[in-house]
Chains A and B, each alone.
Chain A
Amino acid sequence: MHPFEYIRVTDVRQAVAAAAAGPAAAFLAGGTTQVDLMKDGVLAPQVLIDITGLPLRGVTAGGGVLRVGALTTMEELAADPVVAQRLPVVRESLLLAASPQLRNMATVAGNLLQRTRCRYYRDLSCACNKRAPGSGCDALDGHHRMHAILGTSGHCIATHASDLAVALVALDAVVHVRGADGERAVPLTGFYRMPGEDPSVENALEPGELITSVQVPLLPEGARSGYLKVRDRASYEFALASAAVALLITDGVIRDARVALGGLATVPWRSRAAEEVLRGAPVTPEACAAAAETALSGASPRSGNMFKVKLGKRTVARALSLVAGLPG
């Protein structure tokens, strides 16, 4: 691990000031991805700001919004009674991710900022435009079975690894951020950057900005939601394909719908087009299939992950069927 200056802070103002002092500063919270990447030399901050002691932990609900402190752990959020009652899609996305040990460490904000699991990003001997801009992308013609088929560019096809982010994108969550110039709020749907020309820029955070909370509007009373994750193992594995869906159904008709995809795209992928297909449609397998077809339209697979197009469609259709309560 490269040497770094270690700073332990106890309030947000201190943390932001420390980060503003230098360009190569990084915040450390749960560390479950970051410490691993620092061991491998993929990340090498010159200044490491330990924010684990900041008072940014806890969940409160009021006014139809769930406010989640940035340092709330995944297990803590999953255990929240309002989440269990009103936002099953969030709870399921959390409990289907990682392992209990990792969920006790990893924070909600850290989860949203986790790095891709692309092996080429993690291997310093490989070309990777995300790690070393301009070096190329060894995944394009390499082993890319796990890689993205939506939102890709000729410079990067790495998937975003978070399950929680997929659920929160579906729910129109808002990220609250503190920087040297004050506070701002960024909708999660506009937070992530597709790789485009420069895959090293992953989100809307400016250097030195700190996520302080994530605010999640509750679904309307009576809405149903769920998260379906398809993967190579029954547990403790990243998604090959996943879907976060929420439906408001009355009299057998879908009044409102949310659809987001994971494991298939370079960013947590909201499909408003699929939602449009569902809105006003009767609750039928055909409607679910049509929405799934739409969600995957525009997919651009490569030779090693062609299977993800069909898998993605089936994942979306099945998630919708399960949440809608359709048989089988």
Chain B
Amino acid sequence: MFEWLIQPPFSTWIIEGLSLTVEITLFGVFLGLLLGTLLAIGDIYGRKPLRGALAVYVEFFRGSPLFIQLFIAVYTVPAILNLQIDHYLLAFLVFGLNSAAYQKGYIKGAMQTILDDQMAAGLSVGMSKAQTLRHVILPQAYRIVIPSWTNEFCSLTKSTATLAFVGLFDLVSAGISIKMWTFQILPVWISIGAIYLVWITGFSKIMDIIYEKKKIPGVELLMQ
């Protein structure tokens, strides 16, 4: 039933699919963290037109299905620009942009719980707003945001299943191919599901350990 798991080419397909899933998720959450931070700062300090533009961005990426976003990026955008762009590159970008829309909210929320007093303290010692953001606000906000960030990672990992829709070879695409060759439908999907489960659980556990190590003594009390 499961013997195909160690048989090439099926085992290679699984490894290939898993590595795309892992790579695109990690790239997505890190690009999302970076862009999400910029979006959060823009939303807090920007003028109205900028905040409006950010809101449109966030609503587009949160409000439409990921596979439609992928579809537009992979097929429509290159056609409009009349350019050949690597599909993998476009998919990586969509994952980052999509994740940024969610992470903006988490980061902004974390910043706002500490912004008033910590910004006043930073300015009072002669630091600029930018210095205070960098050395005081963000280091605290990132620590607070780790659990939400881990959730975002879990959800993004499972969203990689949509890559199959645009012909990219992720873990689900691997499953589809293997199923067609082996006809072991249930065992294939159980195995694919188990791989997701192990990877997500392992990574989340690591993030939990990092959270415990990095958390600021007493700050979680302040937040309750």
* A pairs with B: no
Interfacial residues, chain A to chain B (CB-CB below 8 A): none
